[in-house]
């Protein structure tokens, strides 16, 4: 153990004073599909403006049943395609 860390090579945290091991903290996976409201929040715009982007074909979307979703990769591509308006 270096620097007071209790992390083991297996990734679990040892708590020697309690004689137990706690599970490793796991990060939630990045979602592959986003709801329109989530896309709107990420873009800091209204849901109706986000739907406009989808209806105009500027931001691709897919349906799963009756639910419209935007792929994270499509959102990232849309953001990358925006012009840089810096002086």
- Residues 76, 40 contacting (CB under 8 angstroms): no
Q: Which residues contact 39 (CB under 8 A, 6 or more apart)?
A: 50, 59, 70, 75
The two tokens of residue 33 are 């599909």
Q: Digits of tens for pLDDT over the chain (87 positions)?
A: 444 444 444 555 555 555 556 666 777 788 899 999 999 999 999 999 999 999 999 999 999 999 999 999 999 999 999 998 876
Q: What is the DSSP letter of 82?
A: S
64: left (phi over 0), alpha (psi -120 to 50) or beta: beta
pLDDT given at position 85: 83
């Amino acid at each position: 153990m270096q620097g007071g860390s209790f992390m083991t090579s297996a990734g679990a945290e040892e708590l020697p004073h309690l004689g137990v091991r706690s599970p490793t903290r796991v990060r939630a996976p990045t979602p592959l599909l986003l709801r329109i409201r989530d896309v709107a929040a990420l873009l800091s715009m209204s849901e109706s403006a986000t739907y406009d982007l989808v209806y105009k074909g500027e931001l691709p979307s897919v349906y799963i049943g009756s639910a419209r979703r935007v792929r994270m990769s499509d959102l990232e591509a849309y953001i990358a395609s925006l012009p840089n308006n810096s002086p």
